[in-house]
């Protein structure tokens, strides 16, 4: 098996963990590339598996780094939450023999293309989680029109808007009040951020449609934010369109791991709440 090893070297412990893991990995498989800065051009290289060290942010970068040649990704969590990177380094050592024998399931997930139209050349970006249109200082309200397949749907005034994939539904969209979608659904969720009317609610619709945000009023520091990591300045003259990408993100699920187990583990579903002793006094 040929393996890419990618990771976020800026996260504490990633470089050290890579140094501990690499001798083990090289005994088990062919390590084609080690890139802990996620800067290498992968277009001319091939691998059967991409091992990502870090957290979900490192996996989002890896998905964009692989571009239109996606490989199955196994994420090793060295961060905090880890919805995508859901196994520890110790669990990796325990299950890697199963990985080498290809005793795992690969799930396929919606990715998006975001086309930014405006003054100058149009640009297209590939992403996995979401796009968010947000305002910076002086944090004045922005105004946008949502157009789906050419039909005007709604006008939003507020702090911004998020268009998320099912994978991204447990990230920024969830924090803004959006729903959790099944990870393998072919759908987008549109979530307003602090909309200036109580009638605006999250919208879930098909990934086979085109979602366009036409800027009507933008602040001095309005940005399109891709996967929470890349920022593109926007003005009132811009339009942003989101559509299904022609490639899917591929996530390796080793035996014993499932999306529902991850939700239970990370969101503590089914556990009893912990209350302070009612009779305790502050010290």
Residues 164, 132 contacting (CB under 8 angstroms) = no
106 secondary structure, DSSP code? E
What are the DSSP E strand ranges found in the chain? Answer: 2-7, 30-35, 49-54, 73-77, 105-117, 123-127, 130-135, 142-148, 151-158, 160-164, 187-193, 203-206, 211-217, 222-226, 230-234, 239-253
Separation of alpha carbons 34 and 208, rounded Å: 36
Distance from CA of residue 188 to its chain's centroid? 13
Is 122 noted as a catalytic residue in this protein? no
**Cα-Cα end-to-end distance for the chain:** 59
Task: Choose the catalytic residue: 56, 86, 159, 227.
Answer: 56
Distance from CA of residue 243 to its chain's centroid? 16
Asked whether the bond before 138 is cis by omega within 30 degrees of 0, the reply is yes
Residues 71, 50 contacting (CB under 8 angstroms) = yes
Q: What is the dihedral of CA 136, 137, 140, 146, to 10 degrees?
A: -10
Where in the sequence numbering do the catalytic residues fall? Answer: 56
């Amino acid at each position: 098996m040929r393996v890419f090893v990618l990771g976020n070297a800026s996260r504490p412990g990633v470089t050290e963990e890579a140094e501990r893991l690499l001798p083990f990995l090289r005994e088990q498989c062919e390590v084609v590339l080690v890139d802990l800065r996620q800067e290498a051009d992968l277009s001319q290289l091939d691998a059967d598996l991409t091992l990502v060290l870090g957290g979900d942010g490192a996996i989002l970068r890896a998905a964009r780094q692989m571009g239109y040649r996606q490989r199955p990704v196994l994420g090793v969590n060295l961060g905090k939450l880890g919805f995508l990177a859901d196994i520890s380094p110790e669990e990796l050592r325990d299950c890697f023999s199963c990985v080498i024998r290809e005793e795992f399931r690969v799930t396929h997930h919606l990715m998006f293309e975001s086309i930014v139209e405006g003054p100058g050349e149009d640009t297209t970006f590939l992403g996995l989680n979401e796009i968010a249109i947000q305002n910076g200082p002086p944090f004045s309200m922005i105004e946008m029109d949502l157009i789906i397949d050419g039909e005007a749907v709604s006008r939003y005034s507020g702090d911004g808007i998020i268009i998320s994939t099912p994978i991204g539904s447990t990230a920024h969209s969830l924090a803004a009040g959006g729903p959790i979608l099944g990870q393998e659904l072919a759908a987008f969720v549109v979530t307003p951020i602090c909309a200036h009317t109580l009638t605006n609610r999250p919208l879930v619709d098909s990934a086979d449609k085109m979602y366009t945000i036409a800027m009507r009023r933008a602040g001095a520091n309005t940005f399109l934010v891709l996967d929470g990591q890349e920022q593109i300045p926007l003005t009132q003259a811009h339009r942003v369109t989101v559509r299904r990408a022609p490639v899917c993100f591929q996530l390796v699920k080793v035996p014993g791991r499932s999306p529902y187990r991850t939700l239970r583990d990370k969101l503590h579903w089914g556990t009893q709440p912990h209350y302070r002793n009612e009779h305790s006094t502050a010290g």
